Structure 1
Amino acid sequence: MKNEIILVFLFVLSLAVKGQDKKAEFLTEPSRWEFERFPLPPTFAPNFPYKGVEELRFSPGMFKKEAPDYFSYAFVARLDSISSITQQEVKDYLLSYFKGLCASTAKQRNLSIDTSQVKVSIEKKIKTSANEVIYSAVLNVFGVFTDGAPVTLNAEIKAMTDLRAKKIYLVFITSPQKRTDNIWKQLYAIQHAFIMANWNE
């Protein structure tokens, strides 16, 4: 069952990446977490307003509802040819992304969900520099990789602007677990590793 769920998820994310290089550029670790890379806009959200690329790392328990790290993962989205992004645009990004993902995956798995119930609340946590803002978010989505039941995700998003290259990076980490849970130590380590390896102001 686990392998079947993973295959469905990767199928949804990978329809547009045949023949593309799947080597990790942003999220090289942790190597034991499942990896995926695909172009933006994603196939599950064709009206998505950004072009670029996204890389993801899924925790070992991502697709197992009983696991302590269920639905816990990280992604980095590189948005090309833009030099700013507002809080509302980050919210709209997440709303469009998760509505499309839930709808497409639910259809693939014959699950019945109401995507109007996908909600995103977001607030600025801190502005660390002129080119970096950190947001806290809560996402109401559906566990479409298991039984389709509602899931509330805690999330943090770093929006990082590379003005010289005219690109924005969204570093997204999330889990249903409280931020005091051990999984968040791993998620913050992934976030930090990306920044140290890839980010030059």
Structure 2
Amino acid sequence: MQSFEIRRFAVLLAILVGTNTVLAADMELAQHITVPAGWKGEQISLPPSFAKEMQFKGIEEARFSPGMFQEKSDTFFSYFFVFKINPGSELTQKNIERELLTYYQGLSSAIFNSRKKKIDTSEFTCKLTKVMPVDPQKIYPQGLTEYAATVNWTEPFVTQKPQTLNLIIQAWTGKTTKDGYLFVCVSPQDLKANIWQSMQTIRDKFYRNLQQ
């Protein structure tokens, strides 16, 4: 059953990505991301084909935990993504909330529609709370802002049931390029679960790679 779900996700992902294309020059972002064996990933353009109403434009790099689409796994729907956003977009709390809500509404709708099912996304929510970044290693980009967030939505891939996702969001603007960045860790697990330490380790490595 698990292998069936993974194969089905691959088909659905192809539907979602559609004709999105990414320039070879944008592969630089992917080269900064290092993940353990078993993690899978994709790169797509922003806005994605499933959420064309998004105002952020750029690219997304996403990496999925080995248990991402296995309901009984302790890393079910645990993953992270990095948005690299073209200069000109303000990374305010209000704008990030709007863009992520649109993203998750579009994702759920696209998957349900592909299965000839209807979903009401009007009750989905995305709420951010600003928190103080903890950076003992002094590796975070200059001007980084951190948020804790929750997304309440209907998970469309496996359970097709309401789900609350916890998010840790870090946002900053590149000093020279003026590109905007969001590094977002996502999981329905409690923030004390092991998966959060795993994603933090990956994120720390990403920041060290950026400095090289």
**When the two structures are superposed, what TM-score results if normalisation uses the length of structure 1?**
0.90
Q: Distance in 2 between the 1:87 and 1:75 partners?
A: 18
Q: Distance in 2 between the 1:14 and 1:83 partners?
A: 23
| Alignment of 1:56 onto 2:36 | no
Aligned length: 200
Matching residue of 1:140: 152
Kept in 2: contact 1:53–1:79 (CA 8 A): yes
Matching residue of 2:137: none
Q: Distance in 2 between the 1:117 and 1:199 partners?
A: 41
Kept in 2: contact 1:132–1:158 (CA 8 A): yes
| Alignment of 1:116 onto 2:122 | yes
1:43, distance to aligned residue in structure 2 (A): 0.4
Alignment CA distance shift 1:135-1:12 (3 Å): farther
| Alignment of 1:174 onto 2:180 | no
Kept in 1: contact 2:46–2:60 (CA 8 A): yes
Matching residue of 1:156: 168
Structure 1, unmatched stretches of 5+, are none
Q: Distance in 2 between the 1:43 and 1:131 partners?
A: 31
Runs of 4+ in 1 over 4 A off after TM superposition: 18-23, 127-130
| Alignment of 1:16 onto 2:19 | yes
**Deviation string for 1:19-70 (max 9, x for gaps)?**
8659633423234211100111100011211211100000111111111111
Q: Which structure has more strand as a fraction of its residues?
A: 1
Structure 2, unmatched stretches of 5+, are 135-140
Alignment CA distance shift 1:18-1:171 (3 Å): closer
Alignment CA distance shift 1:198-1:13 (3 Å): farther
1:157, distance to aligned residue in structure 2 (A): 0.4
Q: Distance in 1 between the 2:67 and 2:179 partners?
A: 32
Matching residue of 1:185: 197
**Deviation string for 1:87-107 (max 9, x for gaps)?**
111111111111111111111
Alignment CA distance shift 1:148-1:80 (3 Å): same
What's the secondary structure of 2:49's corresponding residue? coil
Q: Output the amino acid matched with 1:194.
A: F
Matching residue of 2:83: 77
What's the secondary structure of 1:76's corresponding residue? strand
**Identity %, equivalent residues:** 32
Matching residue of 1:3: 6
Q: Distance in 2 between the 1:140 and 1:11 partners?
A: 25
Q: Distance in 1 between the 2:17 and 2:199 partners?
A: 23
> Aligned-pair RMSD on alpha carbons?
2.2
